[in-house]
Chains A and B, each alone.
Chain A
Amino acid sequence: MSAIKAVNDFVIKFANVNGSGSASANEMFARSILRMGVPVASRNIFPSNIQGLPTWYEVRVSGKGWLGRRGGVDMMVAMNPQTWDKDIASIDANGYLFYDSSRQIPQSRFRSDINIIRMPLTEIANSTYNDPRQRQLFKNIIYVGALAQLLGLEIAVLEQLIGEQYKGKDALIAPNHKALRLGFDYAASQLNGLCGLKVERADAVGDRIFVNGNEAAALGCVYGGATVAAWYPITPSTSVAESFQKHCSKYRVDPVTKKNNFAIVQAEDEISAIGAVIGAGWNGARAFTATSGPGISLMQEFLGLAYFAEIPAVIIDVQRGGPSTGMPTRTQQADILVCAYASHGDTKHVLLFPEDPRELFEFTAAAFDLAERLQTPVFVLEDLDIGMNEWLCEPFTWTDGQTYDRGKVMSAEDLESGKTFGRYLDVDGDAIPWRTLPGTHPSRGAYFTRGTSRDRYAKYSEEGSVYQDNMQRLLRKLETAKSLVPAPVIQLAKENARHGVIYFGSSTPAMNEAMAALEGQGMHLDTMRLRAFPFCDAVSDFILAHDQVFLVEQNRDAQMRMLLVNECGIDPARIVSVLNYDGTPITARFITGAISERLTMKSKEAAE
């Protein structure tokens, strides 16, 4: 039988049971390849559960640096009997199955078109260790050792990673080294030559870092000057708040007094979390919450208040599969509309769409400037794929000496000098009024903040013309926002293209690979990566400059398409949707297939 042969270009997937200690072994496997200078992209596919349910870890090894999911599996490490049949079925023809052969498995449950690598992992672990927990944990390390031998990973690299992982718990280092070596030696003597997938040392990683998005967002909050965090635990956003706590303990404790330059409140629900953020924003502190779809649903009323009363707030939404509880541990881009138009009545909100952890760090820090400049909620829309997976991305950078844009806040001196203060008065022509903070001046600048209609001087009013005047100004404020939010990234094809592709957020790495593949097939498309809402003119210009554009997104209803059609007044026929919404991150193969199929169909139609 033929076997796939590939160097630095394959997909290996681990099928495990959650709570079995496999996660850290698998991550070490992926890191060792990075340390050999070969880019990897790893993705966890895990259940909403602590112990006993199926979980997968997919590692894309790509010397060329493609970091999205490719699609397909070249080698399956099948460690979970529960999902055996499905796992075997997912292997590409001529691919590899590596499994624990301690237990007899009937011939009928294998495939004839794949290469089988058997290793009695449980037997080896049981004959080496007496403690049941150790047997389980070291079994994972043993298979990493075997894979190292099969794939050509440098064992010294793995040993060093073990040393780093157990720094301070040195007693654990030697037994882990031993388990690693046990697997390596077994493969060397029993499995030699069975695997055609290889990793060879390269220099393609550079100074890039391997980091998950939620940690990046949390660091963005630290750098962006957030002092108040209010949140409620919800997958997949919980690690944003936890990571903020961790970073603050490191960076935000006053060296002299040992007191905290931050406050974190775990609220009783998401309503309370956003309420506290709005209270803090009203009172001049930079504040944020991190949540996911169900939390956004609960926050709706407050978000309308913040929009209407014009209070800065930053909301990090780590999107997951909806509606309702949906798929809490799967990824989607399905909160676009609920965020863009959050709350009853006429509202529009500022949204940011980062492509990876690096941009998420940058956008999160910038969100605080935007929120205070525009005096409105700003949503950072990441997702589970970016948030909870380690991504290889450019190192984070920061320009020293920059100050925060605290927006239009009148000081006691401004008020004392007799400057006119009207809380909702557009004095600068950009539709952004000036505000005052409580406690500023003994006799000037106090006003009453409310969710009811009011005039330019914050006095209650139900006059139709006064209400409309304010609502029109809020629309104009959104126009101002267009010039402040990150512009789309447009890339033109090498040849004049009649078609374009629009995409955003976590679809980016798979898109990059798909575009290269399509170009290889002679299909040339211009691309535009959306980075923010409201859309600036360049967005509709791009669409109108093409016969038709594809819009790649990860939800059922083509929410970004709806937003574009609605906000830019675009003929819906101009935008063709490419939709992935099964909860797993979109793959390059899927995008390539969907676009090439439609383009081929079109050229056939044209020929007929």
Chain B
Amino acid sequence: MTYIVKPKLRHPGIAINKLGFTHRDYEGTVSTLCAGCGHDSISFAIIQACFELNIAPHRVAKLSGIGCSSKTPDYLLGQSHGFNSVHGRMPSVVTGANLANKDLIYLGISGDGDSASIGLGQFVHSLRRGVNMCYITENNGVYGLTKGQFSATADKGSKSKYGGSNMDSPLDLVSMAMQVGATFVGRSFSGDKQQLVPLIMAAISHKGPAFIDVVSPCVAFNNHAGSTKAYEFVRLHNEAVNRLDIMEPRETITVEYAPGTTEDVELHDGSTLRLSKLDADYDPHDRIAAMTYLQNRAAAGELVTGLIYMDPDASDMHANLNTVDVPLNRLSAKELCPGSAGLESFNRSHR
């Protein structure tokens, strides 16, 4: 495989963020995925979200497993360290990385084969352990790199490109994430940038385990009639519960909303998440009610998207472990080694 080098030309009118970066500074290498792949739209949304949040790219660590989705960290944030680990095991690697340095932003990118099949255990346990990260699955219901086998999120009865039907029950990563302790859960669609970008921004700003399931059609193997992960199907059945906007700290609010239709949630980094309710009765802070709502709508054949659940007071694994404020990877022998004096008492107590 050859690498196509991106031209370094820059449009004179290109937007610059507060750190002086343009979009281009958040890009990676040229994608080698199929033209029209939903994953590329998600990569773009991540780039956009990091740009909007004024994140220094090198302060992000991007990790993935194996599969089409897991290749995408290479296509974004070229100034960030990346780690393409083993199939289904990104969550444990991100857990360890996060333990080593609590100061970086951790972006875990995975797919439905990676997270719902081979890596289901790690997916669940990293969330219940409270790893402070933004975990995104690019969910297309099939194995792309091995050419079209069903994954564990494929809906029962959905048709494969070559005619077979999936007879196994699907796993819903969103319901599962809420059940096991994710403190920020969203679902979106790769074709809905308006919804996806602020959702990723909010997830990155959230302190605690944040999970977003993004339905991302596979144009090569799962975009045909009869597939529930196809562009057309998702457009027809997408039911957004809210709309999200992220506002910078101290930004003047100019637009007036009818009372009761918006809610402002302050994020960890000081910015504000403004939720515009599309369903007046939906409360994304009530986990049990949200889970029930999700099940009811799923039974009706609808795909609930938007910010589904968020605990604004969440904490994370480091808080649970009571670790020091300094990243553990910066401690030296001075803090870590008890020296000969420590051994003296040890030896004495073993005689």
Contact = CB atoms under 8 A, between A and B. Distances in A.
A275 B93 contact: yes
Contacts of B59: 439
B95 A261 contact: no
B79 A446 contact: yes
B97 interface: yes
Nearest to A285: B100
A400 interface: yes
Interface in A227-274: 227-228, 230, 251-252, 254, 257-265, 267-269, 271-274
Contacts of A302: 86, 89
Given A209-B347, A285-B100, A267 B92 contact: yes
A223 B83 CA distance: 29
Nearest to B93: A279
B224 interface: no
Q: Which of the four size classes fits the interface of chain A? A: 35 or more
B97 A282 contact: yes
A438 B58 CA distance: 7
Interface in A382-401: 395-400
Contacts of B82: 446-449
A279 B92 contact: yes
B85 A261 contact: no
A210 B328 contact: no
A395 B345 CA distance: 11
A261 B335 CA distance: 8
B322 A287 contact: no
A439 B336 contact: no
B96 A228 contact: yes
B58 A211 contact: no
Contacts of A446: 58, 78-82
Contact of A395 (B58, B95, B347): B347
B96 A436 contact: no
A287 B100 contact: yes
B101 A283 contact: yes
Contacts of B296: none
Given A225-B336, A396-B347, A439-B58, A283 B324 contact: no
B104 A438 contact: yes
Interface in A82-119: none
B115 to A, nearest CB: 14
Interface string A15-52: 00000000000000000001000000000000000000
Given A284-B329, A403-B333, A276 B3 contact: no
Interface of A: 34, 207-211, 219, 222-223, 225, 227-228, 230, 251-252, 254, 257-265, 267-269, 271-285, 287, 301-302, 305, 395-400, 402-404, 436-443, 446-452, 459-460, 462
25 contacts: A223-B338, A227-B336, A265-B99, A272-B92, A276-B92, A278-B96, A279-B95, A279-B97, A302-B86, A305-B86, A396-B346, A398-B339, A398-B342, A437-B101, A438-B104, A439-B101, A439-B103, A439-B104, A442-B58, A448-B81, A448-B82, A449-B81, A449-B83, A449-B84, A451-B84
Interface of B: 1, 3, 56-59, 61, 63, 73-74, 78-86, 89, 91-101, 103-104, 121-122, 125, 129, 318, 321-325, 328-329, 331-333, 335-340, 342-343, 346-347, 350-351
What 8 pairs across the A-B complex have the smallest Cβ distances? A279-B96, A275-B92, A285-B100, A276-B96, A438-B81, A284-B329, A283-B100, A279-B93
Given A228-B328, A263-B323, A403-B332, 11 more contacts: A223-B338, A254-B324, A265-B321, A269-B121, A281-B100, A404-B333, A439-B104, A443-B58, A446-B78, A447-B81, A460-B1
